[in-house]
């Protein structure tokens, strides 16, 4: 029997991607859709300006949207996927957890809380057991798990693949698609024929979330990795796909061939949404590119290329689809991990 799930913030860009991924999912059944008070009471077809690259499912279009309130969501919903703005999620998500709901959230609030697991399943699935600590400390019957920022998700799997060589310092410069800002985040007059070398709080997210993801959980507490990470974030006029330039310094010598082999060999998981090959490594110097490579592995794979040795260690580029792998798909993958590990 499929697990009954709901989507919090269902009308936004990530909420729409969540519906696109969940509607055909054999393990999940969409049973609740929530949005702002202005959308509550409308059918989803009336409330959402559907902009995802597939038709809105007919049965979803006819569902009634409710307010984002625990009292409005059926008790038999076992798992909620949250794409709420962090300003809303910081108050609402704990209320759902107190009421017994398990929440897999893409929102940025609470990602760095000591008792909230921040998870990329292929990288740190064992961190999910931090939920036991969370429930003990907060007295929740529910639980809250987070996926990281879309740009963090893009480069951290490649770092995990190189961790055996002893990560010391990482510099990353991002070229981020406009969809990462949401439908209303960047106006056309700002971004066309332009690049914006600042995205509020984004650099801090890459620098801190990456160290938490690469940290070690001993069953009681989480120790962050000591690697030094410095980030520069830029918005560019592509629609989907975050491209990143990465420089990695390691304790051990790291050749281009060793790095490519380690990335190609880095394992995926046997979860429905995990790609068969997690990291694709291109030999061509001009790959990956957003338009050509963002849909690798149905949008859930990481693409890498342009590997070369530099005076600042290994240099390479990496790319991921920011609203699939970097957001909605990451939340769904965490939902699958929760189900596999008996948290639902």
Domain boundaries, the chain: 3-148+327-340, 150-322
Name the pTM for this structure.
0.97
Strand 228-235 and strand 167-176: the pairing is: parallel
Among this protein's residues, is 242 annotated catalytic?
yes
- In which region does residue 110 sit, left (phi positive, over 0), alpha (psi from -120 to 50) or beta (all else)? left
Q: What is the pLDDT of residues 174-194, one digit of tens each?
A: 999 999 998 888 999 999 999
Mean pLDDT of 148-173: 98
Of all residues in the chain, what percent carry a pLDDT higher than 90? Answer: 97
pLDDT higher than threshold 90 for residue 160: yes
pLDDT higher than threshold 90 for residue 116: yes
pLDDT higher than threshold 90 for residue 78: yes
**Phi, psi values for residue 9, rounded to 5°:** 75, 45
Beta bridge partners of 248: 170, 314
Distance CA 260, CA 44 (A): 45
Residue 62's SS3 state is coil
Among this protein's residues, is 97 annotated catalytic?
no
Q: Under CATH, to which class is 150-322 assigned? A: alpha beta
Mean pLDDT of 211-217: 98
pLDDT higher than threshold 90 for residue 1: no
Mean pLDDT of 262-274: 98
pLDDT higher than threshold 90 for residue 155: yes
Options 127, 233, 242, 280, the catalytic residue:
242
pLDDT at 184: 83
Options 97, 150, 233, 318, the catalytic residue:
150
| Domain 3-148+327-340: CATH architecture, name and number where available | 3-Layer(aba) Sandwich (3.40)
pLDDT higher than threshold 90 for residue 53: no
pLDDT at 183: 82
Output the average pLDDT for the chain: 97
């Amino acid at each position: 029997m499929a697990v009954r799930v709901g989507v919090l913030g269902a009308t936004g860009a990530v909420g729409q991607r969540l519906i696109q991924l969940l509607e055909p999912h054999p393990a999940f059944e969409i049973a609740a859709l929530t949005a702002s008070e202005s959308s509550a009471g409308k059918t989803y077809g009336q409330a959402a300006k559907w902009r995802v690259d597939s038709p809105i499912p007919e049965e979803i279009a006819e569902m009634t949207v409710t307010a984002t309130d625990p009292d409005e969501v059926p008790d038999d919903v076992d798992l909620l996927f949250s794409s709420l703005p962090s300003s809303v999620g910081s108050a609402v998500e704990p209320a759902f957890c107190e009421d017994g709901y398990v929440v897999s959230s893409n929102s940025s609030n609470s990602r760095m809380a000591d008792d909230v697991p921040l998870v990329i399943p292929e990288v740190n699935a064992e961190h999910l057991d931090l939920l036991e600590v969370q429930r003990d400390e907060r007295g929740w019957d529910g639980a809250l798990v987070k996926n990281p920022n879309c740009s963090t998700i893009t480069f951290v799997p490649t770092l995990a693949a190189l961790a055996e060589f002893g990560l010391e310092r990482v510099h990353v410069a991002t070229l981020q698609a406009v969809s990462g800002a949401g439908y209303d985040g960047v106006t056309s007059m700002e971004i066309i024929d332009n690049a914006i070398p600042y995205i509020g709080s984004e650099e801090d997210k890459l620098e801190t979330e990456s160290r938490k993801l690469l940290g070690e959980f001993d069953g009681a507490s989480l120790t962050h990795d000591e690697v030094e990470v410095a980030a520069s974030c830029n918005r560019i006029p592509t629609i989907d796909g975050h491209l990143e330039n990465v420089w990695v310094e390691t304790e051990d010598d790291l050749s281009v061939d060793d790095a490519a082999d380690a990335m190609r060999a880095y394992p995926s998981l046997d979860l429905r949404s995990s790609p068969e090959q997690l990291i694709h490594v291109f030999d061509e110097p001009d790959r990956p590119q957003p338009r050509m490579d963002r849909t690798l592995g149905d949008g859930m794979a990481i693409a890498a290329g342009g590997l070369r040795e530099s005076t600042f260690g290994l240099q390479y580029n990496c790319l991921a689809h920011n609203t699939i792998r970097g957001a909605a798909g990451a939340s769904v993958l965490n939902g699958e991990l929760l189900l596999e590990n008996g948290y639902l």
